[in-house]
A and B are shown apart, each in its own frame.
Chain A
Amino acid sequence: MTDNKTFILKGGRVVDPAGKIDAIMDVGVSDGKIVNAQSIRGAEEINVSGKVITPGLIDVHVHLRDPGQTASETMASGTMAAAAGGFTTVVSMPNTKPVADSTGTIDNIRRKISESAVIKVLPSGAMTKGLAGEEMSAIGSLHSAGIVALTDDGKCIQNHSLMRNIVRYAKSFQLPIMDHCEEYSLVNGGVMHEGVWSTLLGMTGIASASEELIVDRNIIIARDEDWKIHCQHISARESVEKLRAAQANGIKISAEATPHHICFTDEEIKHFDSDFKMNPPLRAEDDRLALIEGLKDGTISIIASDHAPHTHTSKLVEFDYAPFGVVGLETSLSVCLTMLYHSGEMSLSSVIEKMTCNPAEFLGIDAGTLREGAAADITVIDLDWEYTVDKSKFKSLSRNTPFHGMKVKGKVAATICDGKFVYIAE
């Protein structure tokens, strides 16, 4: 669109929940910052009338697989996928190879980011060494190395005393905790939600109680330590209820939901397609509706994709043996607009806040806003663009999406990161 460092996005509908703005107005960009459009009169004007302008989207839950599993994703491919999905900031998960549990690995990741990321990648660090759930990692050093949060994502610390100490220790560095909530003894080798469909299909189920128990555990620790614990990819109705009650009591507990959990249920598993296998699993219809309810009333403040690339070969095995996880960066916004906004469930602004200012606030970073002086991270959205998800067009190296073939409405038209166009829809 433009190589200019200074330009005006003209005539768009600006939706900036951080500034409580939803109005037709111009947005100025100069030297990578948001500026008053009046102040740069005469600069190149880009007509975006009919489009929606939002702060660049933020995804707090992304697996970039780099270093270690670059057949499924690399720093370059993963961030291009993020840009295509409208994201300008993502938090990378620490389950790389090696695990991001040391300053050396964080340095390595940061070097990769500076070499090949097209958007901003904020690394998270592991809570325990090797994600083994046994020994606290060097949290203070990881903080100095530049991590934004702590998580053992994919794993869950079963020892509650260790978890409590980690939360307590992390608080001294003001590092938020993001926890994958899963009590192992109730998982028992499960591959899908434990419910009607696992019973009918004869498959081992993962009980909702497995998530609920750890959500409860985290509520107790967040309360006692008075520190931020964020429950990742919440999937069960009971978890939402527990979170709602805890938040009403002022406990610093938050939660995210993924597009796939608000879109699908466990019935999908009857086709044995491993692109519907993820952890936590797709649950029942009442769980799905409870997640949407939780998003509507703010119990769930963040939408995150849990983008988890896996190669075609690794997924093309028996359902029991296929790895958990689906990609989501490139479908997240379209699916959320379709399921939450176009369906009439939520206002546009409340969908966008869950992908902009809410995650920024949780992480304590200066992002997710179109305030003057902020970084010019901007997503341009065509709300009425209807299309069918086609995984063959993905920028991601992996294609393990449950959304292939789904008709969606609303698409990223362009993504601007630090004033630079990093994605323009074809």
Chain B
Amino acid sequence: MDFNWTKKDLLSIYDLTAEEIVCILDTAEEFKKVCQRNVKKVPALRGKTVVNFFVEPSTRTRVSFELAEQRLSADIINIQANGSSLQKGETLLDTVKNIEALQADIIVMRHSAPGSHNLIANETSCGVINAGDGAHSHPTQALLDIFTIREKKGDLKGLKVSIIGDIRHSRVARSNIWGLLKLGADVTIAGPSTLVPREFESIGIKVCHNLKDALENADVVNLLRIQHERQNAGYFPSTDEYAKIFGLNHNSVKYLKPDALVMHPGPINRNVELSSDIADGAQSVILEQVTNGLAVRMAVLFLIAGCLNK
């Protein structure tokens, strides 16, 4: 089916239709082939300028976007800022207007405040790609996760996907949930009740608070990073206790189906959310996620560049 992409921005998975998600995934398949050639570069974005505007620090996502942009032959500007200095001085919109005045075509932004991308997308003619906004959304991460699942498991319809960990504070979880639901997967979220809000039941996903229920019958297990600062905020007593009760380790791995995929958006806390041997084991596709991230981001940049009338 030939589906024509029409959006100038990628703000969240929630905004996308199933057809749009599939369009990105299909396009990414072709870009993955480009990444496997000797010449890993195409001239698709030659003459376009992409600004990587990171108001919140990031290494992995920024490097992935930057390489994707280089492989598309775009010109690249990197701007690092921190939210609080931005707050005191120039407003976000003023910064964006300045970026636009440099004749930039696409702004890839990460920001700690949810919805910041919606604010700027309305006010700029540049394409806006969300590289993470607080705990709200991280669409390219979800797309690369779903790409990896589709590559390994085929159609997502009816596939059982369990997301385990700090759902409350996770943009990765939120984006995955919407994307998986739109493609017909059967989603379960699991972890301690302080980190896994019951409110998610209202959108038709399962919420559970024990690892066994989340692992049994799962086709895919996506483990999220547990941040130490949550311990200080009183969400759980210690990472040690978390690892024992909710970590995927030699005790709990027996519940896992032998063909289930083990995923993690990185960076991993080894031996907290999952043990080292499983992270490096045969069921783990964690590094393939990283590889696929490049193809997915190339596809997103390509589709968005095609919708800019500049």
Interface residues of A (CB under 8 A from B): 195-196, 199-203, 271-272, 313, 316-321
Contacts and interface: CB of A to CB of B under 8 A. Distances in A.
B87 interface: yes
A318 B174 contact: no
A321 B134 contact: no
B200 A199 contact: yes
A196 B115 contact: no
Given A199-B199, A200-B203, A320 B136 contact: no
A257 to B, nearest CB: 25
Nearest to B117: A272
A202 B169 CA distance: 7
Contacts of B114: 201-203, 272, 319-320
25 contacts: A196-B199, A196-B202, A199-B168, A199-B199, A201-B115, A202-B114, A202-B171, A202-B174, A203-B114, A203-B136, A271-B118, A272-B115, A272-B118, A313-B91, A316-B91, A317-B87, A317-B91, A317-B92, A318-B92, A318-B113, A318-B116, A318-B119, A319-B114, A319-B115, A320-B112
Contact of B111 (A201, A202, A313, A318): A318
A203 B112 CA distance: 11
Contacts of A320: 112-114, 134
Given A199-B197, A202-B135, 16 more contacts: A196-B199, A199-B199, A201-B114, A201-B115, A202-B114, A202-B137, A202-B171, A272-B115, A272-B119, A316-B93, A318-B111, A318-B115, A318-B119, A319-B114, A319-B115, A320-B114
A281 to B, nearest CB: 14
A318 B137 CA distance: 15
B27 to A, nearest CB: 27
B205 to A, nearest CB: 11
A143 B92 CA distance: 44
Interface residues of B, number: 26
A203 B136 CA distance: 7
Given A196-B199, A196-B202, A318-B113, A203 B118 contact: no
A202 B134 contact: yes
Contacts of B202: 196
Nearest to B114: A203
B82 to A, nearest CB: 13
A203 B91 contact: no
B135 A203 contact: yes
Interface in B155-189: 168-171, 174
A199 to B, nearest CB: 4
B225 to A, nearest CB: 15
Contacts of B168: 199
Among B91, B171, B203, which residue has the most Cβ atoms of chain A within 10 A? B91
Contact of A321 (B87, B169, B200): B87
A316 B90 CA distance: 12
A202 B170 CA distance: 7
Nearest to B170: A202
A358 to B, nearest CB: 36
Contacts of B93: 316-317
Contacts of A203: 114, 134-136
Nearest to B118: A272
The 7 A-B residue pairs with the shortest CB-CB distance, nearest first, are A272-B115, A202-B135, A318-B113, A199-B199, A320-B113, A202-B136, A196-B199
A313 B203 CA distance: 35
Contacts of A318: 92, 111, 113, 115-116, 119
Contacts of B137: 202
Given A202-B134, A313-B91, A321 B113 contact: yes
A10 B274 CA distance: 81
A45 B136 CA distance: 61
Nearest to A188: B233
A138 to B, nearest CB: 34
A316 B199 CA distance: 30
Contacts of A272: 114-115, 118-119
Contacts of A316: 91, 93, 119
B89 to A, nearest CB: 12
A196 B203 CA distance: 9
Q: Select the residue from A200, A202, A316 with max chain B CB neighbours within 10 A.
A: A202
